[in-house]
Amino acid sequence: MDAEQLKLVAELPEKKSQRLDHFLSLQLKNHSRAFIQKLCVAGQILVNGETASPAYRLKGGESILITVPPPHLLQPEEIPLQIIYEDEYLAVINKPAGLVTHPGAGIDQGTLVNALLHHYQGKLSSLSGINRPGIVHRLDKDTSGLLVIAKDDKTHQGLSDQMKSRKVHRVYTAHLEGIMPQDEGVIDKPIGRHPVRRKEMAIVQQGKKAISHFKVIKRFLKFTLVEVNLQTGRTHQIRVHMAHCGFPVVADLIYNHKTTGTISARRKLGLSGQALHARNLSFHHPITGKLLEFAVALPPDFQQLLDSLEKSECRPV
């Protein structure tokens, strides 16, 4: 398949200037803004014959040439899905730990997207780009629990708007290393890329606003079970916030630098991922307006760990 070339003229309302990536994201409905930014960086978007950055300010009347490389054809795969709810517009999936949500960074098979392509035969929304059909939000590979996928672009846009306006409610169960002294609290710390380890996130002054509400469910001799309500949804938010407070998620291989943050410790605890589970999800159906609320139990390995701790080292809340 050959690369596709698109030619546009920048027609701006009332001659107001506009960022190049913002303008193109409005024109190219099948491609995400992040994808357009990558094309800019790769020199595949020309403005008046010259390469331009995503932040280039269009003034109106410019000639824009976009070269879209041929898509990497993702293969549908028959991977089991635990579908909690679905209708003609959307589906709610209970993702197991160990399953990557979407392709990226050299991973193009064995993901939730590959499973969705097989199950829904390509009838998925396209607003997140060619490698993320249907994906409205994501869960980390080693985090289990609920996420919603969209089958068409109108539904996807409605769900995305609720995400942005913080009308989608998500509650997680997290097992933390250490004894958290407060019964409840709010962590309001901005999150952005780690200044050195670029694949990691960190608390950084210039980061995006991130707010997590937590409440202790039970304390053990060395661990604390908490409920976390996300007010915002930044990448790795709970993991970064809890590690910053000194109580990292049990078996988190990136942010837990205590005793359980290793593969061997994870195996010893009998866990298939980190002890973080998206337990509750609620939102208004973007088409019908009906409030949808979902809850799923902890994965068996997570629950088994808690049961064993209950017998051996439980302490009062």
| Residue 263 · residue 269 · CB < 8 Å | no
Q: Quick one: how many helices (H) and strands (E) in the chain?
A: 7, 18
Could you tell me whether strands 45-47 and 50-51 are parallel, antiparallel, or unpaired per DSSP bridges? antiparallel
> Which ranges in the chain belong to alpha helices (H)?
20-27, 33-41, 112-120, 153-164, 237-244, 263-269, 300-313
Catalytic residues: 140
Residue 303's SS3 state is helix
Residue 94's SS3 state is strand
Dihedral sign for Cα 188, 191, 194, 195, please: negative
Residue 204's SS3 state is coil
Q: Shortest CA distance to 232 belongs to which of 305, 148, 314, 169? A: 169
